[in-house]
Amino acid sequence: AGRIAADGSGLGEFAVLLRGMAPAGQGARTWAGAGLVAGCDAVAEGDEVQRKHAAIREAFGADA
């Protein structure tokens, strides 16, 4: 996500969104990143992503 200056200068800033939530229909869509690298425990990473989703929903008062 980010912004670019409207004056044509090319100035702006961007950031990687590792976690977030956006309205979707009557609910919301959440996203969260994972650290999938060689040798990682894929099940543990999946569990961590689910905890991240739960924290996002809790922070915004959204139930899943």
Report pLDDT digits (tens) over 5-34: 889 898 999 887 788 888 888 888 888 888
Averaged pLDDT, 30-47: 88
Percent of the chain at pLDDT above 70?
A: 97
**pLDDT above 80: residue 62:** no
20 forms bridges with which residues in the sheet? 31
pLDDT for 44: 93
The mean pLDDT of the chain is 86
Cβ contacts of 42 within 8 Å, gap of 6 or more: 36
CB–CB of 40/50 below 8 Å?
A: no
pTM: 0.61
Residue 18 per-residue DSSP state: S
